[in-house]
């Protein structure tokens, strides 16, 4: 057997990046489709349990996204390590689109009386800082990713210098901080745990970025280990409630945020394993020329992953509230929200791209203005 057949090139993760983004994004959307159920279409308990499990595990799509984001930022920063340039490039990639969607959503909620607080709260929602003060989870992921962009240069330098030990130290510090916050300020911890417990997978993604960029070859037998980790994580997440109840007497829904760290941290190895295994499967399918339409579909969704995340979740929840339809029509609502969201994603991206292009456009007489200004300054100096 040739070496190519015995090994797996980790650069495949980068090549399959947008496809995996698409899979993760749709999985998150399925997780948040609260009323979508399989029980109205079949009485088969096995099928119902499988569907509910897949839907319930959709939270791990966030971990897949953050792991890939860490890898992608490693690529970007390695090519150009100028901090201000990095910040400008990353923030301009996300802020115009996020701000446009948030402005429409938040303004709509204020007009309809869903939000009644003042201008300070309005602006804090638009700046994505409100989550850290109140725990409002509408756009919590954008709040988190903006903070991660800002601290990324520091994380990169630590991991670049100390490699695996730097990564392990950073992960340990984050976990210790989370448990300290949980003990000292449980109310604050309940607000932010959904974000802070996801930071370790992002840090691991930064560390893994070097292996992906350097096209590290691993023996394919390692894929079995990733598969085993995936199964173990799924079992842990699927039995999370039963596990907590076994060592916490009187556990109820009100205590969930205090113990959900078990679920969050189990999703970290699950997300990493799924990224590796998905990239392997996608690479093999591409080599065989199979499932091209499906891959192209996921890749298309992956190109608009951030916009879809922000738009779909709110459109689907809004439609679920205003339309009273039977259980069998929920699938129509799900796909209707999906189609509307994709159309809006494309429109929002085009509007933002047009605006950014317009802002970057240089006046036709720019050089003449510069020369004229230089002459004026020279005249004044004389």
pLDDT at 46: 87
* CA nearest to 56, candidates 295, 238, 258: 238
Evaluate whether residue 90 is within a structural domain.
Answer: yes
> How many independent structural domains does the chain possess?
1
* Domain span including residue 163: 3-311
For 194-247, write each residue's pLDDT tens digit: 999 999 999 999 999 999 999 999 999 999 999 999 999 999 998 888 889 888
pLDDT at 314: 81
The confidence band for 312, taking pLDDT boundaries of 50, 70 and 90, is: confident
Most confident of 14-18, 246-250, 326-330: 14-18
**Mean pLDDT for all residues in the chain:** 88
For 128-155, write each residue's pLDDT tens digit: 999 998 888 889 999 999 999 999 999 9
Region 33-61: mean pLDDT is: 84
Residue-wise burial string across 275-285, b where 16 or more C-beta atoms lie within 10 A, e elsewhere: bbebbbebbeb
User: For tokens 């036709």, what's the residue?
Assistant: 364
Cα Rg, the chain, nearest whole Å = 23
Q: What is the 3-state secondary structure (H, E, C) of the chain?
A: CCHHHHEEECCHHHHCHHHHHHHHHHHHHHHCCCCCCCCCCCCCHHHHHHHHHHHHHHHHHHHHHHHHHHHHHHHHHHHCCCHHHHHHHHHHHHHHHHHHHHHHHHHHHHHCCCCCCCHHHHHHHHCCCHHHHHCCCCCHHHHHHHHHHHHHHHHHHHHHHHHHHHHHHHHHHHHHHHHHHHHHCHHHHHHHHHHHCCHHHHHHHHHHHHHHHCCCEEECCHHHHHHHHHHHHHHHHHCHHHHHHHHCCCCCHHHHHHHCHHHHHHHHHHHHHHHHHHHHHHHHHHHHCCCHHHHHHHHHHHHCHHHHHHHHHHHHHHHHHHCCCCHHHHHHHHHHHHHHHHHHHHHHHHHHHHHHHHHHCCCCCHHHHHHHHHHHHHHHHC
Asked if residue 168 lies in contact with residue 190, where contact means CB atoms within 8 angstroms, the answer is no
Asked if residue 214 lies in contact with residue 8, where contact means CB atoms within 8 angstroms, the answer is no
pTM over 0.75? The answer is yes
pLDDT at 219: 95
Evaluate whether residue 347 is within a structural domain.
Answer: no
Q: What would the two tokens of residue 223 be?
A: 């894929």
Non-local (6+) Cβ contacts of 375 within 8 A are none
Region 102-118: mean pLDDT is: 83
User: For tokens 């199979």, what's the residue?
Assistant: 290
pLDDT at 34: 73
Cα separation, 340 vs 349, whole angstroms: 14
Region 306-329: mean pLDDT is: 75
Whether the pLDDT of residue 362 is over 80: the answer is no
Evaluate whether residue 298 is within a structural domain.
Answer: yes
Region 62-88: mean pLDDT is: 94
pLDDT at 374: 64
Evaluate whether residue 334 is within a structural domain.
Answer: no
Evaluate whether residue 291 is within a structural domain.
Answer: yes
Evaluate whether residue 330 is within a structural domain.
Answer: no
Whether the pLDDT of residue 1 is over 50: the answer is no
Lowest mean pLDDT among 41-45, 177-181, 217-221, 228-232: 41-45
Evaluate whether residue 81 is within a structural domain.
Answer: yes
Evaluate whether residue 187 is within a structural domain.
Answer: yes
The confidence band for 80, taking pLDDT boundaries of 50, 70 and 90, is: confident
Cα separation, 45 vs 161, whole angstroms: 52
Relative orientation angle of helices 199-213 and 140-184, to the nearest 10 degrees: 120
For 280-293, write each residue's pLDDT tens digit: 999 999 999 998 99
Non-local (6+) Cβ contacts of 222 within 8 A are 8
The confidence band for 324, taking pLDDT boundaries of 50, 70 and 90, is: low
Lowest mean pLDDT among 16-30, 188-202, 316-330: 316-330
Region 113-122: mean pLDDT is: 82
Asked if residue 79 lies in contact with residue 18, where contact means CB atoms within 8 angstroms, the answer is no
pLDDT at 37: 78
């Amino acid at each position: 057997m040739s070496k190519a057949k015995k090994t797996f090139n980790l650069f495949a993760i980068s090549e399959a990046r947008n496809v995996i983004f698409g899979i993760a994004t749709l999985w998150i959307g399925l997780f948040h489709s609260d009323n979508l159920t399989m029980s109205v279409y079949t009485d088969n308990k096995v099928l119902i349990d499988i569907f509910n499990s897949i839907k319930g595990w959709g939270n791990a799509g966030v971990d897949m996204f953050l792991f890939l984001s860490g890898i992608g930022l490693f690529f970007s920063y390695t090519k150009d390590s100028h901090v201000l340039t990095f910040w400008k490039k990353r923030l301009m990639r996300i802020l115009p689109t996020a701000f446009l969607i948030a402005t429409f959503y938040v303004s709509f909620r204020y007009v309809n009386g869903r939000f009644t607080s003042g201008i300070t709260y309005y602006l804090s929602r638009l700046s994505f800082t409100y989550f850290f003060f109140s725990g409002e989870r509408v756009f919590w992921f954008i709040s988190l990713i903006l903070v991660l962009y800002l601290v990324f240069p520091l994380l990169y330098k630590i991991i670049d210098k100390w490699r695996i030990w730097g990564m392990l130290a950073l992960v340990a510090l984050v976990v210790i901080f989370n448990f300290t916050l949980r003990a000292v300020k449980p109310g604050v911890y309940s607000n932010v745990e959904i974000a802070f417990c996801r930071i370790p997978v992002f840090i691991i993604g930064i560390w893994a970025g070097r292996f992906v960029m350097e096209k590290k070859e691993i023996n394919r037998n390692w894929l079995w280990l990733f598969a085993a980790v995936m199964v173990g994580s799924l079992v842990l997440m699927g039995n999370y409630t039963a596990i907590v109840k076994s060592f916490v007497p009187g556990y109820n829904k009100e205590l969930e945020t205090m113990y959900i760290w078990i679920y969050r941290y189990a999703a970290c190895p699950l997300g990493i394993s799924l990224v590796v295994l998905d990239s392997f499967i996608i690479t093999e399918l591409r080599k065989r020329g199979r499932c091209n339409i499906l891959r192209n579909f996921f890749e298309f969704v992956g190109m608009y992953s951030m916009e879809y995340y922000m738009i779909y979740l709110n459109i689907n929840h809004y439609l679920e509230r205003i339309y009273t339809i039977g259980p069998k029509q929920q699938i129509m609502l799900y796909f209707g929200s999906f189609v509307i969201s994709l159309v809006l994603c494309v429109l929002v991206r085009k509007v933002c791209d047009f605006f950014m292009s317009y802002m970057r456009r240089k006046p036709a007489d720019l050089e003449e203005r510069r020369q004229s200004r230089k002459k004026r300054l020279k005249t004044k100096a004389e």
